[in-house]
């Protein structure tokens, strides 16, 4: 085994340095190749597919609310195989649920949007808008959900998290779509040293510094359901924006020998 390793390394070196051969990157496994996706092109194609779809619903009474909101977050894929609504002039994929009866108010709904794309720089997110409806299918509240990034130790605790509190006793149904403001917005993303292929594989272009704004798109994977302990911890500890820079620990500590009222301290 030890004698084969140098031979393999040498073969890769020759292949990478061979200018007259085929693209040497094809010899590398996919998880070791640099990202080739163009985020703008991928997002534009997804937007075009949405605009070309025929809407099924344009009023809140048109939707089917037979599905009960999951008792804990479950995975839903919104994309070309999904139905399309046209709400307030905006086309969007959607989900519709009836709320569980007998729930003690208030309670929280958890949401998580996954990165849609293999590489961080070529990804976008489905950013949800939630509409709460009464028994007559009249809207009583509409929220564009603010997404915040959390990097956990598992897939379940990694993604763009959000939540909504249900505190109105008249709420009977819930509709999830993406408003025009959400579809053109962005979510702050703080890159970690393990950044970042969404296939959890090594990247040739890792970078342990910097932050990003992930654009929102029309499709993607969304988790939604009644808040559980795992999601509560992720939501409550998620990063929603770049933290304000301080003046340093010594500047902020109440040290007795420093007179902060004097310029000559």
Q: Which of 204, 201, 139, 210 is nearest to 175 (CA)?
A: 139
Q: What is the pLDDT along the chain (265 residues), one digit of tens a residue?
A: 555 555 555 555 545 555 444 444 444 444 444 555 566 788 999 999 999 999 999 999 999 999 999 999 999 999 999 999 999 899 999 999 999 998 999 999 999 999 988 787 788 999 999 999 999 999 999 999 999 999 888 888 999 999 999 999 999 999 999 999 999 999 998 864 344 444 443 333 434 445 678 999 999 999 999 999 999 999 999 999 876 665 555 555 566 655 655 555 4
Q: Which of 100, 169, 114, 119 is nearest to 141 (CA)?
A: 169
Q: Where are the domains of the chain?
A: 37-243
Distance CA 23, CA 246 (A): 48
With contact defined as beta carbons under 8 Å apart, do 174 and 69 qualify? Answer: yes
Q: What is the pTM of this model?
A: 0.73
Strand partners, 164: 109
pLDDT of residue 122: 80
C-alpha Rg value of the chain to the nearest Å: 24
- Measured in residues, the chain has a length of 265
pLDDT of residue 242: 75
Q: Which residues lie below 8 Å from residue 133, measured CB to CB, with a gap of 6+?
A: 60, 139, 140, 171, 172, 173, 174, 175
Where do we find the tokens 């008792």? 71
pLDDT of residue 38: 62
Exposure string over 44-54, b if 16+ CB within 10 A, otherwise e = eebeeebeebe
**H or E segment at 85?**
strand 84-87
pLDDT of residue 175: 98
pLDDT of residue 191: 66
Provide the Cα torsion 104, 170, 64, 147; round to 10°.
-70
């Amino acid at each position: 085994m030890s004698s084969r390793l140098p031979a393999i390394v040498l073969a890769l070196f020759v292949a990478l340095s061979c200018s007259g051969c085929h693209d040497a990157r094809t010899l590398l496994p996919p998880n070791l190749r640099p990202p080739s996706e163009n985020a703008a092109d991928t997002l534009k194609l997804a937007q075009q597919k949405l605009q070309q779809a025929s809407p099924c619903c344009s009023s809140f009474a048109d939707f089917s609310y037979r599905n009960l909101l999951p008792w804990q977050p479950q995975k839903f894929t919104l994309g070309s195989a999904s139905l399309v609504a046209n709400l307030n002039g905006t086309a969007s994929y959607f989900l519709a649920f009836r709320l569980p009866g007998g729930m003690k108010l208030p309670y929280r709904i958890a949401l998580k949007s996954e990165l849609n794309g293999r590489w961080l720089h070529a990804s976008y997110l489905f950013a949800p808008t939630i509409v709460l409806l009464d028994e007559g299918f009249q809207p009583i509240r509409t929220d564009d959900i603010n997404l915040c990034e959390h990097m956990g130790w598992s897939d379940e605790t990694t993604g763009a998290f959000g939540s909504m509190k249900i505190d109105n006793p008249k709420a009977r149904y819930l509709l999830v779509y993406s408003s025009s403001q959400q579809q053109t917005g962005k979510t702050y993303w703080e890159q970690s040293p393990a950044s970042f292929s969404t296939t959890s594989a090594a990247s040739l272009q890792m970078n342990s510094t910097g932050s990003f704004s992930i654009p929102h798109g029309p499709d993607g994977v969304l988790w939604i359901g009644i808040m559980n302990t795992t999601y509560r911890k992720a939501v409550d500890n998620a990063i929603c924006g770049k933290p304000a820079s301080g003046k340093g620990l010594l500047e902020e500590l109440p040290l007795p020998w420093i007179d902060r009222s004097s310029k000559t301290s």
